Amino acid sequence: MAASAACGVLLTAVTACGAVTAWTSPGEAPGGEGPAASARPRPAPAPRAESSSRVPGIGDRMWERVPADTSQVVVVYGDHEDSPDGLVVLYERRGTGWERTDGWRAHNGRLGWTTDHHMDDERTPAGVFTLSDAGGALDDPGSLLRYRQDAHAFAPPAGTDEAHRHDFDYVVAIDYNRLRGTPPYDWSRPLGEDKGGGIWLHLDHGDGTSGCVTVPEDGMRTLLRTLDPLRRPVVVMGDREYLRG
């Protein structure tokens, strides 16, 4: 599959394990927002920001794909089309404008980016995708997204070197070719297996991936504690030239 070499082994192993246990939120159905989210008043959709106050570096073509009621955007600015290096920035809407709230150096597919992703092409799919489910080998750090803690499911494959041992301590699933409301490692692939899947935000290991986007541990903790399903978070990702198009 197309998340990372480690992700591919992980997902295959989990599929063979069978039953899935409950989410960490008590009484939460896999497809729901959970009691904590439903107890909070849903904010009225804010008007789409004008072009002069949109997220920086995003052109008309990409910006039109961001839902009008989204008020949290994670942007992955790839250095260039064939590069594994980039920058992840979190933006939040404040009134009619957008404010940068944090950012981290990051890595993406070791061969760069693609608009036609396929399994094992070692490129990250460019586009706009929702963010709805999270998990990891470690305990929930205070995630507002649905969080699945499972040290076995998120354990690195046998023989993993030290640099990759903590890749899946924290994970946010990017909703590319997956079913929202399922654990990040769910194998469902609505577009077919050839289109890859298992594209995650997870801990950085210092170099390119097989398709995932990686950020430092403090970045993953911040994202998990900040991304709010009531604010309809999305990730906008690709190389800088593509994003501006």
Average pLDDT over residues 87-115: 97
Asked whether the predicted pLDDT for residue 203 surpasses 80, the reply is yes
* Range with lowest mean pLDDT among 79-93, 107-121, 154-168, 202-216: 154-168
| Residues paired with 189 in a beta bridge | none
Q: Where are the domains of the chain?
A: 5-18+69-244
Residue bearing the bigger pLDDT, 202 or 39: 202
Mean pLDDT across 208-222:
97
Instruction: Inform me whether the pLDDT recorded for 8 exceeds 60.
Output: no
User: pLDDT class for 18, splitting at 50, 70, 90?
Assistant: very low
* CA–CA distance, 70 with 91 (Å, rounded to integer): 11
- CA gap 88, 105 in Å, rounded: 6
Separation between Cα atoms, residue 125 and residue 115, nearest integer Å: 6
* Average pLDDT for 224-241: 98
Tell me the pLDDT tens digit for each residue of 115-139: 999 999 999 999 999 999 999 999 9
Rounded-to-integer distance, Cα 69 and Cα 155, Å? 36
CA geometry: angle 206, 203, 214, nearest 5 deg: 65
Average pLDDT of the residues in 170-179? 98
pTM over 0.75: yes
Distance between CA atoms of 90 and 117, rounded to whole angstroms?
24
Can you give the chain as a three-state secondary structure string? Answer: CCCCHHHHHHHHHHHHHCCCCCCCCCCCCCCCCHHHHHHCCCCCCCCCCCHHHCCCCCCHHHHCCCCCCCCEEEEEEECCCCCCEEEEEEEEEECCEEEEEEEEEEECECCCEECCCCCCCCCEECEEEEEEEEEECCCCCCCCCEEEECCCCCCCCCCCCHHHCCCCCCEEEECCCCCCCCCCCCCCCCCCHHHCCCCEEEECCCCCECCCEEECHHHHHHHHHHCCHHHCCEEEEEEHHHHHC
Which residue bears the tokens 């354990």?
Answer: 155
Q: Residues 147-171: what's their mean pLDDT?
A: 89
Residue-level pLDDT at 39: 53
**CA 171 – CA 148 distance, rounded (Å):** 9
Q: Give me the chain's average pLDDT, please.
A: 84
Q: Do residues 65 and 127 lie in contact, with contact meaning Cβ atoms separated by under 8 Å?
A: yes
| pLDDT of 50 | 40
